[in-house]
Amino acid sequence: MNLKTGATQMARAWDGRKRLARLFGCAALLVAASGGESASAQQAKGTVSFSREIAPLLVAKCGGCHVAGRKGNFQMASYDMLMRSGMVQRGAANASRLLEVILSGDMPRGGAKVSPAEVGLLQRWIDGGAGCDAPDPTVALDLLARGAVVAAMPAAAPKPALKPGDVSFASDIATILVEQCGNCHSDTDPEGNLRLTSFQRLMRGGRNGPAVTASNGKGSLIVQKLRGTAEEGDRMPLGRDPLPSDVIAAIEKWIDQGATLDMLGPDDPLEAVAAAGRSRALGDAELLKTRAKAAGPVWRQAIPDESPTVAARRRVTVLGNLPAERLVDMADRSERLEDKLRDLIIEGDGPLLKGGVVVYLFGKAYDYSAFWQEIVGKERPRGITGHAGVAGDVVYAAVLASSSSDDADLDLQLAEQIAAAAFMARSVPDWFARGAARSLAVRLAPKAALAKDWKRDAGTAVATIGSTADFLGGHADPAAVAVAAGNFATSFAPPARLAKLVAALDAGMPFPDAFGSVFKSTPEQLYTAWAAKQKPSKR
């Protein structure tokens, strides 16, 4: 966080406290509102349950306007939507807008009242970290309030091999759902609280129950809705022509097969699953063209007011807002580094990545931050100047290439993110993509000053991260994870072993199985042993 941002957030929090104090005329406003209990007495009651206590309260008091509806452009149909709205500040009830509008009397409207005890419950939940004990943070609040969701989705089973003639969810079904159902069943104000934005959410169902009953296509609500034979409601898609009978038949057949997911994971966006299906179906040359064509719209989504300079190379397409001469130079660098990475980790004559990599280069920090906000959907983490990802058909590396960057450091960052993109396209965990990519980049640019900083800071990063679970689960500071992951991967994964892992992944082996086969251990065991030896550096 920069100084300006930090000061702004502190000021907002202080303004919130002052407003609440003025409203109630005392410094201990929230304590009084919760029945006069001290913080220690409230904590003694234990953790507040979001699913059993907070969700029913929000539905009862705010449901008509802000759960089922979107009054004032604010909706909290799920825990996830509530937390993304910014209305709740974790650990700071007195700086949370949700509590402020209740205490001021502005909300709820329509005659509903929130009692002091209920205010206290909200305060304790927020001050306790505003956690979620629901099985899925995207579960509809009204389902939680009715106690309809009581268990998590079962762990994903190994992806079954498709037999000739089978329907593929990734190749055949995901695109249909995205194109035909996405507008009404997105994460924002979904019809019937049915979100069709991931496989898990599809299988979870909505207000009317499960949309899919595995192995029973004819009896599945989604098929009945598409055919217009459901007992209640209209034929879907609403207000559009019926889907062709062969399309509905394909969905029914997929369900009859067992309704399984054959690519990526159950939490991955449905657009990503559909893109993975297209990637599998296309040849390398055709996918190169598809990816290059899709690169421009991704840029325009993030930076709509500035057209990028484009430099296409054999295996990389580079877009950016650097001066043209410099961008051409960076495109040449990217092509050379892509070739070197291919030689390090690809067995045989295959490409580093089928369909190639798109490289986005940003001359200004605010443009790179905008890319994070629009494409990644998050604020850019402090200390991060490059990352890799997948956006629909685009597998990309993104780098903040400021004019002050040293050439060796730029080579290091380009190599790191191109390699990370190649790993992420193979559905490896984030920590592994970052770590393996960084270890390879250091081999290609060992004299870069930044590489020396990374090596020096390993111990400090490990101390910042905390536990093995935080490192592997993505719950730690991203910059610290990248530093630790690079040094960790260097300790156990030389290029020859990474090449064997990539070959196993490309042959269809799941990452946990491929990892165990190549490294003869688990990530947990290896990281715990390595981290125990790291000591913070003395500068």
Tens digit of pLDDT for each residue in 214-255? 999 999 999 999 999 998 888 999 889 999 999 999 999 999
Residue-wise pLDDT for 431-455, tens only, equals 999 999 999 999 999 999 999 999 9
Query: Cα(237)–Cα(246) distance, rounded to whole angstroms?
Result: 15
Say if CB 416 and CB 438 are below 8 A apart: yes
Q: Is the pLDDT of residue 347 over 70?
A: yes
Q: What are the boundaries of each domain within the chain? A: 3-145, 169-276, 282-531
Q: Between these two residues, 322 and 160, which has the higher pLDDT value?
A: 322
Kindly state the tokens that stand for 172: 């055949």
Range with lowest mean pLDDT among 24-28, 392-396, 432-436:
24-28
Q: Is 530 helix (H, G, I), strand (E, B) or coil?
A: helix
pLDDT for residue 23: 38
Q: How confident is the model at residue 159 (pLDDT cuts 50, 70, 90)?
A: low
| Distance of alpha carbon 126 from alpha carbon 321, whole angstroms | 42
Distance between CA 339 and CA 356 in Å, rounded? 11
Chain centre distance of CA 39: 34
At the second CATH level, the architecture of 282-531 is Orthogonal Bundle (1.10)
Which pLDDT tens digit goes with each residue over 479-492? 999 999 999 999 99
CA distance 397 to 342: 15
Closest alpha carbon to 532 in 463, 464, 486: 463
Scanning the structure block, which residue is given the tokens 């604020």? 379
In the predicted structure, residue 26 carries a pLDDT above the cut 50? no
Window from 6-20, 384-398, 445-459, 474-488 with minimum mean pLDDT: 6-20
Rounded to the nearest 5°, which phi and psi values hold at 211? -85, -25
**Would the pTM of this model clear 0.75, i.e. be above it?**
no
Listed as own residue / partner, the contacts of 130-136 with beta carbons closer than 8 Å and 24 or more positions apart are: 130/50, 130/83, 130/88, 130/90, 130/91, 131/47, 131/50, 132/50, 132/51, 132/79, 133/49, 133/50, 133/51, 133/52, 134/50, 134/51, 134/55, 134/79, 136/200, 136/201, 136/204
Average pLDDT over residues 336-353: 97
